[in-house]
Amino acid sequence: MPRATNNVAARKRRKKILKAAKGYKLGKSRLYKTAKDQVEKGWQYAYRDRRAKKRSFRSLWITRINAACRLNEISYSVFMSKLKASNISLDRKVLADMAVRSPEDFSALVKQVSA
């Protein structure tokens, strides 16, 4: 009896990989073996960087808050501890946005916390 292959599923699987490899250069977008390697590596980078993005944004927010605090003659750590002591629950994303978009409101918040 001849060997039966599942060509439909195999073709579907290969097409899925080659579709994901669209835009890659040379054989990485055309040859299944190299495309598969590259797509899998790309998925690894995407998984890793979804987590790294959260860290880098938090770092950016802290830098912006610190810069705004220094303009108001208070350090970041003192400001954050006084904010917590005042039971004001604003996260770093909101504080950084406030520091960039409305510095006068941020200054008012610093004065309220410092008082």
Residue among 41, 38, 32, 106 at smallest CA distance from 73: 106
Q: Convert 39-58 to b/e letters by CB count within 10 Å (16 or more is b).
A: beeeeeeeeeeeeeeeeeee
**pLDDT per position as a tens digit, 22-36:** 999 999 999 999 999
Longest dimension (CA), the chain: 89
Confidence (pLDDT) at 81: 96
**pLDDT per position as a tens digit, 42-90:** 999 999 999 999 999 999 999 999 999 999 999 999 999 999 999 999 9
Residue among 89, 88, 106 at smallest CA distance from 97: 106
Is residue 113 within 8 A of residue 83, CB to CB? The reply is: yes
Q: Which residue type sits at 30? A: R
The architecture (CATH level 2) of 7-114 comes to: Orthogonal Bundle (1.10)
Question: CA-to-CA distance for 33 and 69, rounded, in angstroms?
Answer: 54
Is residue 24 within 8 A of residue 31, CB to CB? The reply is: no
The model carries a pTM of 0.79
Domain ranges of the chain: 7-114
